[in-house]
């Protein structure tokens, strides 16, 4: 038996792996983006910024604390980490097929047989048997079935890790965006309250003048309608604040409750935009890397299916001792052993194996198209968010100029009304336009800050490695595949 194991190993070493080897598909990588202002340039300083915790660049310690809490307490991140542990266990199960399955057993029996005649009478002899053995079973991986299955299981494990990192990315961005929304709603509430207070003072003044007969019922009703318009905005904004706070609480893994604030929207810093090469996008985004791992797994499954065309060779061995008495169990003459080899060759399966191969190849095609689609969506996301960042900044500047102009308009309209040059309708028109534009300007401010979050989310730089390491991790961390390894 001492020559069997080297022979088995030799057979395994010369074995081949059926099925196609994985090669990364060609991707149509754009040399530059459609928008001139969204062209990405190589800048090591900017890339270094992309590798930092970008939320710190907003200058709000409360936002930083909320994100750190979400990374540790968010339940979606915990579920994703547990899913990685599931695939890690499945990978271990598949990889175990490389080695012999060894089991140990012990058996002891004692009993009496039928009566027998021994000449001077009948007797019922008592028989004993004790046995201890170790058995092993091993299917030799001549055609690479186990190797392809293990390759697929590892790729699925790495895909689950990329999915976990994708959840970390999404949760981080959602917390930041929701917090920015909360600050924007706070500003909307202040604008609505200030407008309502101003209109309330005007309404009281006109009610007094109406009593003296200085103004008409028409003018009074117009002022009153504008006052109640501002008042109606307040509870609607307050309700949206409660809903946003509850959404953030869920992201933090907590029950609904109030969320602390740090800075106000106007004092929130606007981080700069990192720049990098388009090819870096393919290596960074978890969805792209996860789609490629799924493609790698599907590619390996073709080899598993094709291996069923070939014979499977398995070896079974038994080594042990057996005796009718315990004291003789481990003596030399009690030893027993057995080695069995078997070959199983499929002959007529009526299309079963070819059907499995066809199905595996179809799954690989689906994964290929899914990967290409994911890459294209990644570049579209980058194009959209870079364009949005530039256009939103232009819109914010224009709306701020509009706010300043309307404030001047409102001030001059009041002066003209006091001087008797115009009616109060002109003042109401100026107030209405100023109120709406101030609300629109605050929303654009928030959208501009959120576009920066979107850029960091789209590029998924080194900051994601840091955030992933600080989040809920699987019990045994997964070593990710290096980008060079994927460029076979």
Per-residue pLDDT of the chain (488 residues; tens, 9 = 90+): 444 444 444 444 445 678 888 888 876 556 555 554 444 444 555 555 566 788 998 999 999 999 999 999 999 999 999 999 999 999 888 988 888 888 888 887 877 666 666 566 666 677 777 788 888 888 887 788 889 999 999 999 999 999 999 999 999 999 999 999 999 999 999 999 999 998 898 888 888 877 777 777 877 888 888 899 999 999 999 999 999 999 999 999 999 999 999 999 999 998 877 555 455 666 788 999 999 999 999 999 898 888 878 788 888 887 767 766 666 667 667 777 777 877 877 777 778 888 888 898 899 999 999 998 988 888 888 888 888 888 999 999 999 999 999 999 999 998 998 888 888 888 889 999 999 999 999 999 999 999 999 988 888 878 888 898 889 888 888 888 876 544 44
β pairing state of 122-123 and 101-112: unpaired
**Interacting residues of 343 by C-beta distance below 8 A, sequence separation 6+:** 311, 312, 313
pLDDT score, position 186: 97
Q: Against a cut of 0.75, is the pTM above it?
A: yes
Q: CA-to-CA distance for 144 and 425, rounded, in angstroms?
A: 85
β pairing state of 122-123 and 116-117: antiparallel
Whether the Cβ atoms of residue 275 and residue 40 lie closer than 8 Å to each other: yes
Query: Phi and psi (nearest 5°) for 46?
Result: -65, -40
Query: Phi and psi (nearest 5°) for 127?
Result: -115, 140
Sign of CA dihedral 274, 278, 279, 281: positive
Quote helix, strand, coil % in the chain, to nearest 5.
65, 10, 25
Q: Identify the three-state secondary structure at position 440.
A: helix
pLDDT score, position 321: 76
pLDDT score, position 113: 65
* Residue in 290, 332, 325 with CA at minimum distance from that of residue 478: 290
Q: CA-to-CA distance for 244 and 181, rounded, in angstroms?
A: 8
Which residues pair with residue 338 across a beta bridge? Answer: 318
Would you put residue 144 in left (φ > 0), alpha (ψ -120 to 50) or beta?
Answer: left
Crossing angle of helices 424-459 and 352-418, in 10° steps, is: 150
β pairing state of 101-112 and 126-140: antiparallel
- CATH class of the domain comprising 4-103+142-486: mainly alpha
pLDDT score, position 291: 92
pLDDT score, position 279: 57
Q: Give long-range contacts, CB 8 A cutoff, 24+ apart: 24-33.
A: 24/292, 24/486, 24/487, 24/488, 25/295, 25/368, 25/371, 25/372, 27/282, 27/372, 27/375, 28/376, 29/278, 29/279, 29/282, 29/379, 30/278, 30/379, 31/278, 32/278, 33/278, 33/382, 33/383, 33/386
Q: What is the widest separation between alpha-carbon atoms in the chain? A: 146
Whether the Cβ atoms of residue 456 and residue 54 lie closer than 8 Å to each other: yes
Query: Phi and psi (nearest 5°) for 164?
Result: -65, -45
pLDDT score, position 121: 60
Q: How many CA atoms lie within 13 A of 244 on its CB side?
A: 22
Angle at 434 between CA 221 and CA 223, to 5 degrees: 10
Q: CA-to-CA distance for 76 and 66, rounded, in angstroms?
A: 16
Would you put residue 123 in left (φ > 0), alpha (ψ -120 to 50) or beta?
Answer: beta
Q: Residue written as tokens 């094709």?
A: 306
* Residue in 101, 136, 128 with CA at minimum distance from that of residue 334: 128
pLDDT score, position 162: 93
Query: Phi and psi (nearest 5°) for 44?
Result: -65, -35
């Amino acid at each position: 038996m001492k020559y069997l194991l080297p022979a088995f190993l030799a057979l395994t070493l010369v074995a081949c792996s059926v099925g196609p080897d994985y090669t990364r598909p060609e991707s149509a990588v754009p040399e530059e983006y459609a928008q001139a202002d969204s062209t990405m340039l190589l800048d090591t300083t900017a890339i270094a910024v992309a590798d930092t915790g970008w939320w710190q660049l907003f200058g709000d310690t409360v936002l930083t604390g909320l994100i750190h809490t979400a990374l540790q307490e968010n339940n979606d991140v915990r579920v994703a980490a547990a899913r990685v542990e599931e695939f890690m266990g499945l990978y271990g199960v598949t990889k175990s097929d490389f080695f012999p399955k060894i089991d140990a057993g012990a058996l002891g029996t004692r009993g009496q047989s039928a009566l027998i005649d021994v000449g001077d009478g009948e007797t019922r002899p008592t028989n004993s048997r004790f046995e201890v053995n170790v058995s092993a079973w091993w299917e030799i991986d001549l055609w690479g079935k186990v190797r392809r299955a293990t390759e697929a299981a590892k790729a699925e494990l790495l895909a689950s890790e990329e999915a976990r990192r994708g959840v970390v990315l999404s949760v981080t961005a959602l917390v930041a965006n929701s917090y920015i929304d909360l600050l924007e709603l706070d500003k909307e509430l202040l604008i609505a309250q200030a407008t309502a207070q101003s209109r309330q003072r005007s309404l009281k003044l006109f009610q007094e003048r109406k009593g003296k007969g200085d103004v008409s019922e028409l003018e009074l009703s117009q002022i009153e309608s504008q006052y109640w318009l501002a008042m109606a905005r307040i509870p609607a904004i307050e309700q949206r604040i409660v809903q946003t706070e509850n959404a953030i609480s869920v992201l933090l893994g907590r029950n609904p409750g109030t969320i602390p604030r740090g800075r106000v929207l106007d004092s929130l810093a606007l981080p700069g935009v990192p720049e990098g090469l388009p090819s870096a996008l393919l290596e960074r985004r978890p969805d792209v890397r996860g789609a490629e791992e799924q493609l790698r797994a599907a590619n390996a499954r073709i080899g598993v299916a094709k291996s069923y065309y070939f014979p499977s060779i398995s070896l079974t061995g038994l080594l042990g001792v057996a005796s009718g008495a315990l004291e003789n169990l481990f003596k030399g003459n009690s030893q027993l052993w057995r080695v069995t080899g078997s070959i199983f060759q499929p002959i007529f399966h009526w299309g079963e194996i070819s059907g499995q191969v066809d199905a595996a190849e179809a799954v690989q095609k689906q994964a290929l198209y899914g990967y290409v689609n994911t890459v294209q969506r990644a570049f579209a996301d980058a194009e959209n968010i870079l364009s949005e960042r530039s256009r939103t900044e232009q819109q914010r500047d224009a709306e701020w100029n509009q706010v300043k102009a309307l404030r001047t308009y409102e001030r001059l309209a009041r002066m003209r009304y006091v001087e008797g040059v115009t009616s109060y309708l002109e003042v109401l028109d100026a107030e209405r336009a100023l109120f709406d534009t101030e609300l629109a300007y605050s929303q654009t401010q928030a959208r501009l800050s959120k576009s920066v979050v979107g850029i960091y989310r789209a590029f998924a730089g080194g900051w994601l490695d840091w955030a992933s390491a600080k989040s809920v991790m699987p019990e045994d961390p997964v070593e990710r595949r290096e980008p060079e390894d994927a460029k076979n």
